[in-house]
Amino acid sequence: MAELVFFSGTMDCGKSTLALQMHHNHAARGRDGVLFTRQDRAGKAVISSRLGLTQRAHEVEDSTDFWADVIARRTHGHPVDYLIGDEAQFYTAQQVEQLARVVDELGVDVFAFGISTDFRARLFPGAARLVELADRVEVLQVMALCWCGARATHNARTVGGAMVVEGEQVVIGDVDSGADEVGYEVLCRRHHMRRMTAAAARAMSPSMPTFDFDVG
């Protein structure tokens, strides 16, 4: 039986790495798959891991119709056994419903990877619909860590190292952004609620040790 599986976690927990590994494993067994992504930090139409792995993929737009895409490929003689969708939190709720239909009516496995909540700790529409429809939701076991060393459970948006809680839900940035740019940081719930980033902690106590982990 085909499945719709949502692999979820915070930033830095290895989602893109696992997506590429899963593609490799299935392709090595002779299965034909299609890779999709949306707004990857490395640019358009690419899945990138912080470990340095990259793979070309199809860029998802608001107009993308997964059902029509798979039907078109099969009509032209291209087998499709599975889909891998990275950055799935950015998909629309309707697109997630299309993915569920692809699983149920065409027997195609769909493996979706993404973060669940935004910088305000609110669910992304795509992630919310995946949680509602997925056959399984898998929380990635690789732990991203807050600057304090505790398990990171929340994504924070920063500007100049200071956490912000207002603005558009989707603003492209990275954990390696410069001091004056929009950036992102993973925090434990306690420090997310206190808006205490690594930079804020250092400013309050320069001698305080902080942990900077990046697991890709």
Pairing of strands 109-114, 4-8: parallel
Catalytic residue among 61, 87, 97, 166: 87
CB 139 within 8 A of CB 106: no
Q: What distance in Å separates the CA atoms of residue 73 and residue 106, rounded to the nearest whole number?
A: 12
Asked if 87 is an active-site residue, the reply is yes
Asked whether 56 and 34 are in contact (CB, 8 A), the reply is no
Contacts of 87 (CB under 8 A, 6+ apart): 37, 38, 39, 40, 60, 113, 114
Amino acid identity at 91: Y
Q: Supply the residues annotated as catalytic.
A: 87
